Amino acid sequence: MNPAPHSTAAREKSIWPMFAGAFVLFALFAVFVQWMLSSGDPASYDEEAIRAKERYDILAKIREENNTLTGSYGWADQAKGTVRVPLDRAMELAVARLSAQGAPRPAYPVDPNVPLGSTVKPGGFAAAQPTPPPFVAPAAPSPAVEAEPAPAEGQEPPAPGETPAP
């Protein structure tokens, strides 16, 4: 005979079919992911790689423009008559101009009577810095004053200048 359909007897079930099904699903997912990764160019999916390539292209363009501007002659502003000179040639011209001026000169008159460390503003007069006061050791701390005892409950505190009652 068949046991009752709602019997309380424990049925033995095997959990191996559940593990086998989970393994099959995991294997199918792994195969799908591998197929997706191998089907195209990995860089086409990587947004950071795309952005890095764009930044590299922009950097190469900026470097090319800078090399053109610093390494060739041209008009900086033709209306004003300002020309652009290669950087190496501009440095040669600056050194030649500075060496033709002779020894360097100060931008304002120098007073040899002003001591070192003074404040001098260009175009103004020199004013010596004030001398700091000599170091004086601090005085020893005074002895601690004994604290007056707190008034007992129900008593009023003494007025200033009065001696407390015992």
Alpha carbon distance 53, 51 (integer Å):
5
- In this predicted model, what pLDDT tens digit does every residue of 101-154 receive, in sequence order? 888 777 777 677 766 655 655 555 555 556 666 777 777 766 665 656 666 666
pTM tops 0.75:
no
- In this predicted model, what pLDDT tens digit does every residue of 145-157 receive, in sequence order? 565 666 666 666 6
* Sequence letter at residue 110: V
Cα four-point dihedral sign 116, 117, 118, 123: positive
Residue 153 DSSP one-character state: T
Residue 84 DSSP one-character state: E
What SS3 class is residue 74?
strand
Closest CA to 87 of 73, 75, 99: 73
